[in-house]
Chains A and B, each alone.
Chain A
């Protein structure tokens, strides 16, 4: 079990660094009193234990360990920590170039799926935003209190139906002999049933559907915080409607837009349930590939490497976009 040592050392380093940061913070207020004097032993102990267990045991250590694991080979338990257990980049090489026996120069199967997932997630995020924005604006600035309550109620219902069931409803709706094809054929729009599932259309629609609410609530909160008089004033000055939205409402709601888009993108790219239910035979989604590393091949180090690649790509994209939009992470998470 040698691998854990690295994790322990790294975690201890984080904790010690943080402790020194708190202790010798230049902005520390001089009148602040000691932690245990402030909280008492019982409450102070609870705070340290609570935060410690949460951040260290359920977050930092597993994360660090996963990163560490991704640099190892898959070995039978008896050989773990033995002489064959060395650090390696093989799992990442596998992602880029395929297995050593592969004849292709690059691992196109996985790379294509990876880039498709990222690209489609970005596109879906934008579409979700476009669909959600008008409703969020209507709820925040136009709807009366009574209407608002009804709208919120209607929005909350699908929110608590879980991903699997939502995806299932789309399967019923969009199956080859499903309801939608029935309607389309009934009104004569199409002669042949459309293969929504095989073409992954159902998958994309359902992904968009699943994250509508994730998008709407931050948007609604941000637009709601804007003084309606500002919009009225702009209208009085003769600004056209698109101008008002583009230059008055959206800049003000930027943090909300940022947080909605960030969450939506992360959840879309990391979606597992929807691709599982709706992914066609030629589905390109990346998460099932990660899943298969774990529970088909039982190659955990490789699965960890794939998960890390996905995580890093998502983080890099989110940070780049936020930076371009001039937003800070702190503003987003509120």
Chain B
């Protein structure tokens, strides 16, 4: 047995262990979603059933929570992409000391525990809406949760957008200016189209982050309910296979989304290869 053989065996062993740890609990939970006992049971399998899924889709409280989660998720996505974009653009126009202070300020929300963000949002807006005289309209769980989540989700969005902005070729902007465009036109015609992929992916990330957030939400949600807070109270009360069924649905959706994303990426790569080949052909023809 040579050393290389041993190493590769160790690596495989480790990888298998790692992914058993990572996926095993989810798989076990998945099994309980199809098992008949009303307590989530893995073994023995007493009978296969889809009852827990039908029950899940009839569960009014969960559906209500899902609706709120989607509303919050979409609002957070829109708000965070808009604020994150503004944050990233301002960053590119700051230099020196002010830039480092600003940077500290915009990444801080990522590092602050969600519980602190949730608490600070609730306590501040309770009084602030009071002096605005809008406590009845603005001081509710949905609005507060949107605000609390936006403060750190915007930072994520900003970091994603900033990463793409750093690859922006300034001469593109200058070319548009030189052709007579005003700064707002440059923003609309050159910068936004360039940032489009980053805006889309940060919006996606914002929605998903908001959707699965619990730490900030549990403080800010007050009397409203999101899917995660409904889940939390259910899990607290006891175990129930409908929760496993929900997890299974989420896992399947994730896998499907990831596969679709993968497929799109490959198609894009293939198209880029075709373009490249075409260009080489043209270049060869030009030199004849």
Q: In the bound complex, do residue A47 and residue B90 qualify as a contact, i.e. CB atoms below 8 Å apart?
A: yes
By DSSP majority rule, is chain B's interface helix, strand, loop, or mixed? helix
Q: Which one, A25, A138, A271, contacts B11 given CB within 8 A?
A: A138
| Known interface pairs A160-B212, A169-B25, A171-B239; A266-B113 also in contact (CB < 8 Å) | yes
Q: How large is the interface on A (under 10, 10 to 19, 20 to 34, 35 or more residues)?
A: 35 or more
Cβ of A251 within 8 Å of any chain B Cβ, yes or no, is no
Residues of A within 8 A of B32 (CB): 172
**Residue-wise interface mask of A (108-139) relative to B, using a CB-CB cutoff of 8 A (1 in contact, 0 not):** 00000000000000000000000100110010
CB distance from B161 to the nearest CB of A (A): 12
Residues of B within 8 Å of A42, CB to CB, are: 184
A41: nearest chain-B partner, CB-CB: B184
Report whether A164 and B262 are in contact in the complex, using a CB–CB cutoff of 8 Å. no
Contact B214 A164 (CB under 8 A): yes
Q: Report B92-112 CB contacts with A as 1/0, cut-off 8 Å.
A: 011111101111111111111
Binds B, one of A50-58, A86-94, A95-103, A222-230: A50-58
Contact of B200 with A by CB under 8 A? no
Asked if A266 and B93 sit within 8 Å, CB to CB, the answer is no
Contacts of B83 in A (CB 8 A): 50-51, 53-54
Tell me the dominant secondary structure on chain A's binding face.
Answer: helix
Residue B254, interface by CB 8 Å: yes
Supposing A62-B125, A294-B219 touch, asked if A310 and B147 sit within 8 A by C-beta, the answer is: no
Choose one: B97, B104, B243; the contact of A165 (CB below 8 Å): B243
A4 near B254: Cβ-Cβ < 8 Å:
no
Contact among B14, B84, B120, B239 for A66, CB-based, below 8 A:
B120
Q: Does B235 contact A (CB under 8 A)?
A: yes
* A71 CA / B258 CA spacing, docked (Å): 48
User: How far is it, in angstroms, between the C-alpha of A195 and the C-alpha of B235 when the chains are bound?
Assistant: 19
Chain B residues, CB < 8 A from A55: 87, 105-106
B111 contacts A262, C-beta separation under 8 Å: yes
A18 touches B101 (CB 8 A): yes
Which A68-98 residues have a C-beta within 8 angstroms of B?
Answer: 69
A272 and B218 contact, CB distance less than 8 A: yes
Measured between alpha carbons, how far is A194 from B170 in the docked complex, in Å?
Answer: 63
What total of chain B residues lie within 8 Å of the partner, measured CB to CB? 94
Q: Which residues of A contact B117 (CB under 8 A)?
A: 62
B70 beta carbon closer than 8 Å to chain A: no
CB of A327 within 8 Å of the partner chain: no
**Across-interface contacts of A37 in B (CB, < 8 A):** 183
User: B113, A63: Cβ atoms under 8 Å?
Assistant: no
**Inside 8 A of B115's CB, which chain A residues have their CB?**
270, 272, 287, 290-291, 307, 310
Q: How far is the CA of A7 from the CA of B120 in the complex (A)?
A: 12
* CB pairs A–B below 8 angstroms (19 shown): A25-B96, A27-B97, A37-B183, A42-B184, A57-B147, A59-B105, A65-B123, A66-B120, A135-B14, A138-B11, A157-B258, A163-B212, A164-B214, A166-B26, A173-B24, A173-B28, A182-B43, A333-B103, A333-B107
Known pairs A32-B93, A66-B119, A153-B259; list 4 more (Cβ under 8 Å). A154-B23, A163-B228, A170-B25, A171-B239
